[in-house]
Amino acid sequence: RSLTGLDMADKRVLVRVDFNIPIEQGIEAIASYDQRLRATLPTIHYLLERDCKVILCSHLGRPGGKVTEDLRLAPIGDRLGFLLGKPVKSVKDCIGPEVASAVADMAPGDVVLLDNLRFYPGEEKNDPGFSQALAANADCFVMDAFAVAHRPHASTVGVPELLPSAMGILVQREVESMGKALESPERPLAALLGGAKVSDKILVLENLLDKLDHIFIGGGMCVTFLKAQGINTGASNVETDRLDFARELMERAKQRNIQVHLPDDLVIADRFGPDGEVKTV
């Protein structure tokens, strides 16, 4: 369902956004990596124009189900407020009494940003109790985080089962674009895949493979594919339980005359950390 199909005027709207940006490079670098914030602006503006109380939620990094001070979302909220041209109140929790109090104080047109969803293990476990706590302060839900829509987490699967829900403008555009590309594609058709983990992309790869002419694999996940080809990947993170999948996918692609492209040039270092000697090979 699109936003136009959801009755949301004057209501509390929980919006799942994807503000997972490289904050580890320092708060001052957020402005250089705010594309994901800008991508959500059309949905936020749509809701504000209808006097909604906008409650944003996102994950950031991999805190492992516990509070990590360096992964709080408040600095991102400051940047979002600058982009919106209005204050964004950051709450130091995503469920519980502090959130309930902040939402109760909201006026129509206000924007609140909850803290990192992954501070609670219930988010990634799709825990029903966490889903209920997250949904408790909203009247409806909008999914505007396409990059995590495939993950069976509380904020992506659990909450939509509890509240009237709709796609945000960003997700709707992505779905329409992907549908057009897959149903009546212009040839050659290529997919560019990245991210840290192969396991997050298995269903995407299996569903897309027969429709593609080229697959370009980059990001952290390319290391697993390189390792599957017998290339020395040093101390880089390899999903050893996905090596067989990587080999099978490359063999299936070869049989179908689909070209799999992995990086030709790699940046390596002799150790992790800012003092490592770096070179391109």
Q: Burial level of 139, CB count in 10 A (0-12/13-18/19+)?
A: middle
Q: 244 with 227: CB under 8 angstroms?
A: no
Q: Which residues of the chain have pLDDT under 70?
A: 24-26, 182
Contacts of 259 (CB under 8 A, 6+ apart): 213, 214, 215, 253
**pLDDT for the residue numbered 103:** 97
Domain parsing of the chain, residue ranges: 3-171, 185-269
Helix (H) or strand (E) holding 269: strand 267-269
Q: 68 with 39: CB under 8 angstroms?
A: no
Per CATH, 3-171 and 185-269 having the same topology is answered yes
Q: What are phi and psi of 103, to 5 degrees?
A: -70, -40
Strand pairing report for 214-217 and 53-57: unpaired
**pLDDT for the residue numbered 56:** 98
**pLDDT for the residue numbered 25:** 65
**pLDDT for the residue numbered 142:** 96
**pLDDT for the residue numbered 18:** 94
Q: In 2-149, where does DSSP find H-type helix?
A: 35-48, 74-84, 97-104, 121-124, 128-135
**pLDDT for the residue numbered 26:** 67
The fold of the 3-171 domain, in CATH, is Rossmann fold (3.40.50)
Q: How far apart are CA 222 and CA 270, in angstroms?
A: 19
pTM of the model: 0.75
CATH superfamily of 185-269: Phosphoglycerate kinase, N-terminal domain (3.40.50.1260)
